[in-house]
Amino acid sequence: MARKLSKTTPRQPPDLWAAANRIYPATSGKPGPRDVGLTPYVRDFERAVGNPKYRRVVLVTGAQAGKTECYLDILGERVANAPAPVLVVLPSKEFAVDQFEPRLVQLFEQSPSLAGKVLGGLHSKAQKKVLKRVNGTRIRLAHAGSSAALKSDPAALCLIDEFDELLKDVRHQGSPLELAEARGSTFADFTAVVASTPSRGIVETYLDEHSGLEFWAVAPPENLESPVWSLWQSGTMAHWAWPCVHCGEYFIPRFSCLKWDEPEGGRATPSQARESAHVVCSRCGGIHEEADKLKLNGRGTFVSPGQTIDAGGNVSGNPFETSTASFWVSGLASPFVTFGERAESHLRLSGRRRWTASGPASM
């Protein structure tokens, strides 16, 4: 039987709760109500957390894609509407204290409905760096190197950030995910939420003749160096797809779609690639510039192997039956990093390390 700590209010999808309750100050880059429409690819991910069908929800994407804001939406809605202990697992103590904890305090400041429920007030001595008490429940920040923190409290919701940076085995007591999931055994609605940029490994693609889309193939476990990719493969494997502005058909943007002009008789420099970078539709070869990204994301949608999508964005069919909802979003979709910046970064990095197939998976 699930525990009940206090009276709950009607649940909301995290994106709708955030739009109504998170107000960014005038000093922020985008003041006003939280707008998930800026990163619409997180909407389905956030909503999957409240779906009783799924025990795990996994997001794989590149850096600077809005993962932390997404986590704050999920955490805020849970604490506000169905208060129960939350465990946030981060790569290191420094990451928890220096990066995530200030963002968590900002969440309370942005949300009057939560700020008034912080025990003793936002700056009370009752509020520790790694332990917050809000709306009659606890939010603990743990790091992967501490088995004590991972085993200290029960949790109804566990948020794990940058999964590929965590220790694979914490003091020989199991993986951080295993330890965290053990804390949810007393909650019938426990959900583990995992997000990460993938590390390297060998991953191929294949063209699905039924849908016309190029999906990531399921890679043999021995070829994978990325723990989050293994989790992703065990789930619904949803791919973020864009509608081509030329042919109207949906395609899946991936690193192979990113092109730039090469000078005659030579190779483009990183700065040259930055100036000419564009994305090519894998179906018709149509060119998409950075200015098209807002429209592409606005009509973007997720498609899983086993599903098809028509030019109107209607998805048919069902993903694999699994208790893990998993989503992959190309880094090309991020509104915070341009196509040119992605191309420039790739050429600079390629001079220092070898990229394998799942390196560009994050792009």
Instruction: Output the average pLDDT for the chain.
Output: 88
Dihedral angle computed from the Cα positions of residues 256, 261, 266 and 268, in that order, rounded to the nearest 10 degrees: -80
Query: SS3 for 278?
Result: strand
Q: Which of 245, 236, 276 is nearest to 259 (CA)?
A: 276
pLDDT higher than 80, residue 117: yes
Alpha carbons 47 and 83: distance in angstroms, whole number: 17
Specify which of 84-98, 117-131, 339-353 reaches the highest per-range mean pLDDT. 84-98
- Give mean pLDDT, residues 163-171: 68
Q: Which of 84, 95, 97 is nearest to 5 (CA)?
A: 84
Q: What is the pLDDT of residues 7-43, one digit of tens each?
A: 556 789 999 999 999 999 888 878 899 999 999 999 9
Q: Which residue has the higher pLDDT, 149 or 358?
A: 149
Give the distance between the most distant pair of CA atoms in the chain: 70
Q: Which of 185, 193, 227 is nearest to 47 (CA)?
A: 193
- Give mean pLDDT, residues 163-176: 66
Alpha carbons 164 and 162: distance in angstroms, whole number: 6
Quote the pLDDT of residue 6. Answer: 47
Q: What is the pLDDT of residues 247-300, one digit of tens each?
A: 999 999 999 999 999 988 888 999 999 999 999 999 999 999 999 999 999 999
Q: What is the pLDDT of residues 304-315, one digit of tens each?
A: 999 999 999 999
10 Å CB burial of residue 17 (0-12, 13-18, 19+) is buried
What's the pTM value of the predicted model, to 2 decimals?
0.91
Residue ranges and CATH numbers for the domains of the chain are: 50-196 (3.40.50.300), 223-361 (no CATH)
Quote the pLDDT of residue 360. Answer: 40
Specify which of 81-95, 118-132, 276-290 reaches the highest per-range mean pLDDT. 276-290
Cα 147 from chain centre: 25
pLDDT higher than 60, residue 138: yes
Quote the pLDDT of residue 194. Answer: 96
Q: Which residue has the higher pLDDT, 238 or 113?
A: 238
Q: Which of 75-79, 120-124, 130-134 has the lowest mean pLDDT?
A: 120-124
Q: Which residue has the higher pLDDT, 207 or 152?
A: 207
Residue found by looking up tokens 């069919």 in the block = 317
Quote the pLDDT of residue 361. Answer: 46
Alpha carbons 153 and 87: distance in angstroms, whole number: 8
DSSP annotation of 221 reads G
Quote the pLDDT of residue 174. Answer: 62
